[in-house]
Chain A
Amino acid sequence: MDIKLTFNGESHEVEIKPGDTLLKTLRRLGYYGVKHGCETGECGACTVLIDSKPANACLLSSAQAVGHSVVTIESVGEHPELGWKKSAGLHGIQESFVESGAIQCGYCTPAMILAAKSLLDQNPQPSDDEIREVFSGILCRCTGYKKPVQAVLRTAATARGEEVEPFESGIPASPEWLGGEGEPSPGFDRPFTGIESGEVIAPTRVMPSIQITPETEAWQRVGKPEKKVDAVKLVQGKPAFAADFERRGMLYAKVLHSPIAHARIKHIDKSKAEALPGVSAVLTWQDIPRVVYSTAGQSDPIPGPLDSFSLDNKVRFVGDRVAFVAAESEEIASHALELIDVEYELLEPVFDPAAALQPGAPILHDEPEYVNFAESDPSRNLAAEIRIDIGDVEQGFSEADHIFEDEYEVPKVQQAHIEPHVSITYWDEDDRLVILTSTQVPFHARRQLAPVLGLPIKRIRVIKPRIGGGFGGKQEVLSEDVAAHLTIATGRPVIYEYTREEEFIASRSRHPMRIRMKTGVKSDGTITANAMYALSDTGAYGSHALTVTGNTGHKSMALYVGAGEYRKSPNIQFYADIVYTNHPPSGAYRGYGVPQGFWAVERHMEKIAHELSIDPIEFRTKNSIREGEMQPFSTAWSEGREPRPETIETCGLDECVLQGKAAIGWDQKFGNSDWHQVPGKLHLRRGIGVALVMQGTAIPYLDMGGASIKMNDDASFNLLVGATDLGTGSDTVLAQMAAEILGVKVEDIIIYSSDTDFTPFDKGAYASSTTYISGAAVIKASEEAANRIRVRAASMFNENSEGSEITVDDIRLVDSKALAPDGRSIPLSEIALDTLHHKDQEQIMGIGSFMSKVAPPPFAAQFAEVTVDVETGQVVVDKLVMAVDSGVIVNPITASGQIEGGMTQALGYAVCEEMVYDSEGRARETNLQDYHIFQAHEMPELTTIFVETFEPSHPFGVKAVAEIPMDGVAPAVGNAVFDAVGVNVDANPITPEKVWRELMKSG
């Protein structure tokens, strides 16, 4: 049908099908700022303004929009520099988003800006609650919403002519400055009646509190709140994400997923599907080579079994692949799926990992091509086995006065990045296969896909455009092979974009585990031995099976080494079985096994302290690992590779505890019975809890990143890195490091990542490694370029001077100039012109790569404050405070955004997120309504404090930030619930019924 639509004030005659959504039509017409995140209206990434009000384009038909004004992000603001054309510049909201760090991956940013615009157009003085309300229909998985709210508050204040908090280089954190007592918790009143409380919980001060280490004081770029280098394009909704790069003649791929948990495919008839007009290819296991591989994006050799095929003659979970279709439209492809007849031979499924280990259990992997890694044993459904003994736990137990044993459980949860998995594949003009994909691991993807596709590595080019969040979910080669097989089959470009339901039933998730703890403790609180056994459900395939669960013990069981003599030689045991079941596969998810471990360890430590009547913080710090001590696991395990001893060089944990306690008012609240009551509400109790945590920074002797940099005529620099910014801000911090070394502004560094043809190798974005590993590579490359600049500058100084000779080492690069000790200077742009055009011409450039021999752990103290309804068991988290030692903070705003966003994801892990399956393996959660992730208008107060240490293994003293905020929230909330009502919930999420049941048990 032909309709007339008005987009951004312009009228368009459009031919549509009656069922075309407004989202589809807008994107077809090139309005790429409107994003696809789900099909059911929950994520809000497709928000546009309809008659000035935010609405979801995915749930409006195009025909419905006739007669209405539709506004997209494309009409809001423009780049401030457009050559000779005068630019109106960015809109004030966009500027505030850029400045305030309100953008991480940027996928939901256009939606948020439009929603904020609709609010500010009506209300120039919105409250915090009103802003959160207008954001309530837009899910952000990265930021925790704090900075977007602050950005709008700043925009509004600026527009009213009011002062806003400046961006300082750091706000010192001290117990005195932080005040300590804190305001009384709002309990249920704010979030539950939540419409008009007017309470401001995100002031316009964007900078986190930082206790700055002295080594950083002279730096100009590192440690400063620089704007994100990609922010300007993201606030404009520019076509930057994989699905935005449509190709002429592109086909749409769909996958037929198994409705059965365990079956052999007896017969497939695809003839009807192939005969459907518009269908270009239908592929089954009979059509493509049978190549065994692992979907886990990891370095070679993959530290896990090879147990997957692009398509197999057996299905192992509800959601497993059965067939691929490529067609002229999504609708035709979907229809074609319905026409494929599949005859299954049903096999007995097994869903319980303990049952799967028993003799006689159904075997998932009986294929002859299976390739073992280490102790994997498919005949026992064992994807991996870990047995680590440090010291002598039995001796330690025998020396203890008390033995504490308990069991804990953690659920399967989803990364829920708002941008789904997307890949576009095509043959280029040289008949090389181009894979443009939303991946965290472009180089691993290329290497791993080559044999699967029957191509040499050199004939594959992987391009990683902007990524709309990954959190580990895109450390998996999941969508690329589908599109690539179909491109090979048809010769045409193909896009394969997951639906939200596919994300839930057919991608990867956090490993669920049952964890048994046994701890020996002396009456004075000295831990004498600590043992953990983890039974981990890897689901149908063993991707990341060994390494995720290995990290469960490697990090969480390393934190408490014992006190006195025990800390010199701790007694620790970590055993784990990682078992195949007919659940959807587990995989990598931010934290990588460590949140599972800390749920058990930190709940357990709380119970021990309580039983022994020892202050829970004193008990923890008495036994926790310290600077100068050996990471106990470093001699025992290293992700399936040779372990090498490693000493902890920096540990700011005690200071984190001090700062965190002060910020949450621990001393005023813990043990204070008056505080635990909620005046006028007898059914409510307050509680406060703590958890101490540690992570790692990269994988030692393995993770490597590369960088190259070249100088341009105007003394700007092209920095090419293989590192993958999936929204974390890594491109920005890498540019800051280069700018610091080269003495230029960050805006003079043009960073590009990543393309396997053009950028150096990088292992990818995982293991909290980019700032540390790729950063060190950038530093090396920049130093090489800087040295050549100094050489040229010395020559230029000496050429024009009769005074004492200036040596290369005398020259400093500052403020885009080369400075001589005598005060003379040469602009870098002159040096650039000299080297490129005038004399002894050369290209100033540098390359560098870095591999670390250590994995310096960040540490953190996580605090939580809750209100518990003693009648219903309902828990509301009122406040989260995290004090973190991540070494030197390169960019306080992006780093605090990582902490806020991580705490928010972890909050879901604490109270609501889980993936549940019925007795036949069918998922309960297939959309973002049932799988609830926190929304803007229900967030607790978030506080971030950085306690800087200077990690000596890195030139800028950095350690990791990205994953550690996932680790402590759930146990801290669990401990706060215990503090509030005296019951222990040992399986997260802490749902109302679980709390209620424990309350009933306790009488």
Chain B
Amino acid sequence: MIVEYYRPKDVSETLEIIKNPKIKMVLMGGGTAINRFSSESFAVVDLQDAGLNSLHEKGRILEIGATVTLQTLYENDNIPLNLKTSIYRERAQNLRQVATVAGTLVSSNGRSPFATAMLALDAALSLKPDDETISLGDLFPLREEILGSKLITKVAIPLNVQLAYEYVARTPADIPIVCASVAKWPSGRTRVVLGGFGDAPILALDGPESGGEEISAADAYRHAGDDWASAEYRQEMAKILVNRCLSKLEISK
């Protein structure tokens, strides 16, 4: 239950508010996760006026303000087409208008198409107050511990990368049972990420060049069984979807 509400005007005010909290302090992007009913008492810091909602291209990097909404990012013409697909599959339009990039990543689980694609892109998060940068892959397993009273200010993704995204679901708009995203850098660096299972998407491969993607994918999902699908099925699908991603990338060359 939200018992206090703050709306700071900039980053420094935000940092001041969250520095010494008397009660649990939660940073709020769009609020699509936070505003759900909870019996726990906490304060929210609404970041909508904190000046974190802009997009900047710096060379081959797109810096996405933490509170840029999914819809705004979706409408950006410079992001990889398959990142758009992952955003489209993340949430229906109503929620995309409100949900923010950082908020979605922080609250996502393994079934998130957007988190899967962003992990494939090796998204990097900038944190205040210490101006540190952390990769999404490093953040996912330790979200609460790492973030603590830190503020995500932006998320950076490379724009010179080819990205593919494939998934299996019960219906076209359903959340995926298995999904895969493969990113390929001009240098040959290849990242393979699997989603559809667990608390966060899994990095199956990050290699300096192509090769071994299918095997890595199957290996990564060896124990990926839950109520929604067996590990055997997810393993097989991981191989197939990664293969399809690679074919897509090959075609789009």
Cα–Cα, bound, A50→B7 (Å): 18
Cα–Cα, bound, A748→B241 (Å): 61
- Whether A63 and B46, one on each chain, are in contact in the complex, defined by CB atoms closer than 8 angstroms, is yes
Contacting A138 at CB < 8 Å: which of B94, B227, B241?
A: B94
Chain B residues positioned under 8 Å from A58 (CB to CB)? 35
Interface residues of A in 15-29 (CB under 8 A from B): 17-19, 21
Distance to closest chain A CB from B134 (angstroms):
27
Cα–Cα, bound, A895→B53 (Å): 48
Chain B residues positioned under 8 Å from A47 (CB to CB)? 94
Interface string of A31-75 (1 = CB under 8 A from B): 000000001111010010010011110111101101100000000
A193 close to chain B: CB less than 8 A: yes
- Whether B98 and A136, one on each chain, are in contact in the complex, defined by CB atoms closer than 8 angstroms, is no
- Whether B173 and A136, one on each chain, are in contact in the complex, defined by CB atoms closer than 8 angstroms, is yes
Interface residues of B in 83-101 (CB under 8 A from A): 84-85, 88, 91-95, 97-98
**Which of A55, A60, A192, A989: most chain B Cβ within 10 A?**
A55
Chain A residues positioned under 8 Å from B46 (CB to CB)? 61, 63-64
The residue in chain B whose Cβ has the minimal distance to the Cβ of A912 is B170
The residue in chain B whose Cβ has the minimal distance to the Cβ of A1 is B5
**Which of A50, A66, A916: most chain B Cβ within 10 A?**
A66
B206 close to chain A: CB less than 8 A: no
A918 close to chain B: CB less than 8 A: yes
Distance to closest chain B CB from A66 (angstroms):
8
Interface string of A920-941 (1 = CB under 8 A from B): 0000100001101011011000
**A50-B97, A138-B94 given as contacts; is B36 within 8 A of A59 (CB)?**
yes
Interface string of B1-42 (1 = CB under 8 A from A): 111110100000000000000000000101110011101000
B171 close to chain A: CB less than 8 A: yes
| Binding-face segment, B147-155, B156-164, B228-236 | B228-236
**A41-B32, A871-B240, A993-B229 given as contacts; is B173 within 8 A of A64 (CB)?**
no
Contacting B98 at CB < 8 Å: which of A55, A138, A912, A996?
A: A55
- Whether A334 and B93, one on each chain, are in contact in the complex, defined by CB atoms closer than 8 angstroms, is no
Cα–Cα, bound, A938→B94 (Å): 16
Interface size on B, residues (CB 8 A): 47
- Whether A137 and B233, one on each chain, are in contact in the complex, defined by CB atoms closer than 8 angstroms, is no
Distance to closest chain A CB from B167 (angstroms):
9
Contacting A53 at CB < 8 Å: which of B30, B43, B97?
A: B97
Cα–Cα, bound, A17→B44 (Å): 13
Chain B residues positioned under 8 Å from A193 (CB to CB)? 85
B61 close to chain A: CB less than 8 A: no
B139 close to chain A: CB less than 8 A: no
**A136-B92, A918-B227 given as contacts; is B172 within 8 A of A993 (CB)?**
no
- Whether A191 and B172, one on each chain, are in contact in the complex, defined by CB atoms closer than 8 angstroms, is yes
The residue in chain A whose Cβ has the minimal distance to the Cβ of B237 is A872
Contacting A54 at CB < 8 Å: which of B37, B94, B237?
A: B94
**A137-B93, A872-B168 given as contacts; is B173 within 8 A of A938 (CB)?**
yes
- Whether B4 and A932, one on each chain, are in contact in the complex, defined by CB atoms closer than 8 angstroms, is no
Contacting A21 at CB < 8 Å: which of B35, B39, B98, B174?
A: B35
A991 close to chain B: CB less than 8 A: yes
Cα–Cα, bound, A126→B115 (Å): 30
- Whether A192 and B172, one on each chain, are in contact in the complex, defined by CB atoms closer than 8 angstroms, is yes
- Whether A912 and B168, one on each chain, are in contact in the complex, defined by CB atoms closer than 8 angstroms, is no
Cα–Cα, bound, A17→B41 (Å): 12
Cα–Cα, bound, A929→B171 (Å): 12
Cα–Cα, bound, A64→B7 (Å): 8
- Whether A876 and B172, one on each chain, are in contact in the complex, defined by CB atoms closer than 8 angstroms, is yes
Contacting B94 at CB < 8 Å: which of A56, A876, A916?
A: A56
- Whether A133 and B233, one on each chain, are in contact in the complex, defined by CB atoms closer than 8 angstroms, is no
- Whether A195 and B168, one on each chain, are in contact in the complex, defined by CB atoms closer than 8 angstroms, is no
A331 close to chain B: CB less than 8 A: yes
Cα–Cα, bound, A195→B87 (Å): 11
Contacting B39 at CB < 8 Å: which of A64, A338, A929, A989?
A: A338
Distance to closest chain A CB from B28 (angstroms):
8
Distance to closest chain A CB from B221 (angstroms):
13
- Whether A60 and B172, one on each chain, are in contact in the complex, defined by CB atoms closer than 8 angstroms, is no
Chain A residues positioned under 8 Å from B215 (CB to CB)? none
Contacting B233 at CB < 8 Å: which of A17, A934, A993?
A: A993
**Which of B36, B39, B94: most chain A Cβ within 10 A?**
B94
A992 close to chain B: CB less than 8 A: yes
Chain B residues positioned under 8 Å from A992 (CB to CB)? 168-170, 177, 233, 237
- Whether B177 and A331, one on each chain, are in contact in the complex, defined by CB atoms closer than 8 angstroms, is no
- Whether A44 and B92, one on each chain, are in contact in the complex, defined by CB atoms closer than 8 angstroms, is yes
Cα–Cα, bound, A136→B237 (Å): 27
Cα–Cα, bound, A61→B47 (Å): 13
Distance to closest chain A CB from B66 (angstroms):
16
Distance to closest chain A CB from B93 (angstroms):
5
Chain A residues positioned under 8 Å from B236 (CB to CB)? 996
Distance to closest chain B CB from A7 (angstroms):
18
Interface residues of B in 39-94 (CB under 8 A from A): 39, 43-44, 46, 48-49, 71, 84-85, 88, 91-94
Chain A residues positioned under 8 Å from B71 (CB to CB)? 53
**A874-B169, A912-B174, A924-B227 given as contacts; is B35 within 8 A of A63 (CB)?**
no
Cα–Cα, bound, A481→B170 (Å): 38
What are 8 residue pairs bridging A and B, where the CB atoms are less than 8 Å apart in the complex?
A61-B31, A136-B93, A338-B39, A872-B168, A876-B172, A932-B174, A993-B229, A993-B233
A residues apposed to B, CB below 8 Å? 1, 17-19, 21, 39-42, 44, 47, 50, 53-56, 58-61, 63-64, 66-67, 115, 133-134, 136-138, 191-195, 331, 334-335, 338, 869, 871-874, 876, 911-912, 916, 918, 924, 929-930, 932, 934-935, 937-938, 989, 991-993, 996-997
Question: Knowing that A59-B31, A918-B227, A996-B236 are A-B contacts, what are 10 other residue pairs whose CB atoms are under 8 Å apart, sorted by A's residue number?
Answer: A53-B71, A54-B97, A55-B94, A137-B94, A869-B168, A872-B241, A873-B168, A874-B169, A932-B174, A938-B172
Closest 8 CB pairs of A and B: A137-B94, A19-B2, A137-B92, A912-B170, A191-B172, A938-B172, A18-B5, A136-B92
